[in-house]
Structure 1
Amino acid sequence: MELGLPAFAVRRLLRRRDLVKVQQGVYVDHTGPLTWLQRAWAGVLALWPSALSHDSALRAGDGPGRRGDDVLHIAIDRDRSPAAPPGVRLHRLAHLDERVQWHLSPPRVRIEEAVLDVAASALDEMAAIAAVADAVQARRTTPGSSARHAGGACPDRSQAAAAECAARRE
């Protein structure tokens, strides 16, 4: 065990219900339902090294009070292939170390990248615009910062827009 407890001590704590298993190697010290933040930490720790991404990274930045996030989005390095725990959607990212703010609690993908990931996975153009506009309006990011992090990426799926975007990148 990472904290130095021998296996028999962990088994005793589990038997006495002083600890409850959440994921493999991840425990909490109560028997009630998990808060969103506890679920986020459990997902990140179970897949370590990993970080919150997409909507989950934005949700972590919002703080307590927001409801309705059932699925956790967790980013891992693109070369890894662990099985996703229940309620977790994995996103494999290149250059994970450069894209994650490891000092935050729990670690998460940079806000600009999370906003762009949410916009890129939006079902329609208006939802993509709303994702970026919401982040700018909440002063989490600026249009210039988002554009710098986009790095020429073209999340729009229409062929005409993709052709225009490709022409601009050349």
Structure 2
Amino acid sequence: MSRPSFSDLPAVFPDWSPYPDLESAARAYLRDPDIALDAMAGVLRGQSVLGFTLERFVNDVNGVWQEVVVCDGTRLILWHGEDIPPEEAPPGSMTSSLRVVALSAVTEVGCRRRLSRNPNGHARVDSVDVYLLLTSLDEANVAAEEAGSVIRHDALRFGKTLDDGGAGQIARLEEFARLVSSLVGKPML
């Protein structure tokens, strides 16, 4: 598979927020949509996608980092792809990881909006940060327990800003948070 190096990738990616379905959004936004969609299809197995959010960024150390999070009504399905630094593997190597979390494992959903006001007083959402607190424990803090540290629950965190995603992706992340919030705590059929 031939891919551009991360130095050749644009700093701003296409906007996925206008695409209502996962496949179109992933193909517009991700560098490796086929890998992500194939991995997720093996878990979804025909289940409807009720909502999703996407993330992608480029860093100087590992190259491209990509994430897809899907809610099918009973689970969160998370795909994560990340380039492996050239000094650790042949050029073009990446990891592809899949994680499935039952919605019954989500104990809390939080959504923080940062607002600014223009001169006429109209409020605008500048960013949104969402967290999903899970019943599982944060692995890094479990090891630290023996040293007397505080144990923390695992959490999934997502964020969008006007500079990183724009108003459309902020709105879609808020929509995703509302979807998950509406399902948490309900009996699973």
TM-score (norm 1): 0.29
Query: Which has the larger share of helix?
Result: 1
Query: Which has the larger share of strand?
Result: 2
- Structure number with greater Rg is 1
TM-score (norm 2): 0.27
